[in-house]
Structure 1
Amino acid sequence: MTTTAPQPSRTASPARRPLSGRVAVVTGASSGIGEATAWELAAQGAHVALLARRGERLAEHAARIEEAGGTALALPADVTDRASLASAAAGVRARFGRVDLVVNNAGLALPDLLDGSAGGTWQRMIDVNVTGAFAVAEEFVPDLLAAAAERGHADLVNISSAAARTILPGFAGYAASKAAFSHLSHNLRARLSPADVRVTTVEPGAVDTELRDHIGDPAVSAAVQEAMEAIGTLPSGAEVAELIAFAVSRPRHVNLSHLSVLPTREV
């Protein structure tokens, strides 16, 4: 299910722009939680760089953010390609300066049915959800450390999944990759928090985004759709984005380190 583009939830009132002056990077920003988060951070005053592989969609999102009064930059990038990521990071710094807020969101959810075809999808999810996520952190941590030393805090927000903590038949690779990412995120917090870099791990459950449209297998897609309908109303990407913006706008001595976002009926 593809959702309509989220709209900024805040007005341009200075009193309601707590992220003014901050420089944010959002990966996986071409759709879903990433797209919504870019909108929300820009609406709250941040200069936002949108990173993802789909350059045309990024450009459209950035243009709409700027039309709404925000500041945005579209930079096509693949988190599994270190050169591509480094080039995008250089583009952010050239336009906005040092980054002090990173939303590490790019992710992939594919089924693994143990029918002899799962090896490729397993590797793709490890490459994006674990290795790519680590590459994003590694690229921007020097910026975050320098920003925290100067202004007292910086933020790294890692978007994992509730699948990291539950059984998800048919999606063992996805669940395993997100469990690895959550554990990585907790370890990054132990490493970075003494330097005043706040690390927040967000683990959404079922969210109404297009991620499940990428499943490919019609039978699995139908089963997932049935499960989603049984849960009922799902949080939208915009609602998760509002929580992310809330977390990074807390006083500098407060770190919301672990956030779980679930539909009311999901257990």
Structure 2
Amino acid sequence: MSNMFDLTGKVAVVTGASSGLGRDAALSYADYGADVALLARRKEKLDEVAREIEAKGRKAIPIACDVSDEASVKAAVAEVIEHFSKVDILLNNAGIAVAGTVEELSEADWDKSMDINVKGLYLMSKYVVPHMKKQKYGKIVNIASINAIIADKGYDLARHAYNTSKAAVRGLTMGMAATFMEENITVNSIGPGLFESEMTADSLFKHEGFMKLYNGLSPASRPGRKGELNGTIIYLSSDASSYVTSQHIIVDGGFSIV
């Protein structure tokens, strides 16, 4: 029986690939046989990830890209096509979490959240989808959050712009999935629970009261560990999910069910 999870010969594009969950996913793609285009604003960090991927025997190209800027995205995708000639997988992972209620958030912080978390996903898809349509094949995986469907209580934990932007990711995922399935392009989203990353290490993980509450409520009694999101990402990026589209898979150790 062939390995439906094998990504040999595929080209994956990962945004926010310089650290955290994006870096882990990029390395996992390489482990399953894919070549990887690494996109983020910090080129020096991408160079490090590219070297790790090449050490696994796969090809990697690091590209400095601001996903909220159309010219930057257009140029980045053109560079990927010039280098690899195609895109099979797009992992829209780049994102930020700005704390604050609607009363506290500045307009600039609100706009920044929407620009990176929603507009960035739209722009990347805008320039990648035409190439997927040409080859009649594509896997788009959008990283949303459990905060698309649940919120954190308390003023000190409120992230209203983040809640809004991640709910919008679900909406765009469904819209694209409904349109592009006939082109053999699947579009799904993932809702991670709490994982340690640059985004959470200096905020939620340092909030003693929150961590105690999270671990107490979670059926897993802990946050997600490094690598525990990769299985879901590989599944949705591989032919194992060829008839799966518009789904939102929550990976949170059961936190959202209690």
Scaled by the length of structure 1, the TM-score of the pair is 0.84
Q: Which residue of 2 aligns with 1:263?
A: 253
How much identity, in percent, do the aligned residues show? 31
Q: Which residue of 2 aligns with 1:138?
A: 126
CA distances 1:50-101 after superposition (whole Å, capped 9, x unpaired)? 1011111100011111112222111110001111111111111111111111
CA distances 1:12-65 after superposition (whole Å, capped 9, x unpaired)? xx9797101111100011111111110011111111001011111100011111
Q: 1:160 aligns with which of 139, 144, 148?
A: 144
Deviates more, 1:153-162 or 1:236-245: 236-245
Q: 2:24 aligns with which of 8, 32, 36?
A: 36
Q: Which residue of 2 aligns with 1:94?
A: 82
Aligned pair count? 248
CA distance in 1, matches of 2:133, 2:226: 29
Q: 1:247 aligns with which of 236, 246, 250?
A: 236
Superposition RMSD in Å: 2.4
Equivalences for 1:1-267 in 2 at 5 Å? Answer: 18-114=6-102, 116-148=104-136, 153-169=137-153, 170-213=158-201, 224-230=210-216, 231=218, 232-251=221-240, 253-255=242-244, 257-265=247-255, 267=258
How far is the alpha carbon of 1:213 from its aligned partner? 3.8
Distance verdict in 2 for CA 1:195–1:56, change over 3 Å: same
Distance verdict in 2 for CA 1:112–1:23, change over 3 Å: same
What stretches of structure 2 of length at least 5 have no aligned partner? Answer: none
Distance verdict in 2 for CA 1:209–1:252, change over 3 Å: closer
Secondary structure at the counterpart of residue 249 of structure 2: strand
Distance verdict in 2 for CA 1:251–1:36, change over 3 Å: same
Distance verdict in 2 for CA 1:123–1:213, change over 3 Å: farther
How far is the alpha carbon of 1:118 from its aligned partner? 3.4
Distance verdict in 2 for CA 1:21–1:174, change over 3 Å: same
Scaled by the length of structure 2, the TM-score of the pair is 0.87
Q: Which residue of 2 aligns with 1:4?
A: none
CA distance in 2, matches of 1:131, 1:97: 25
How far is the alpha carbon of 1:228 from its aligned partner? 4.6
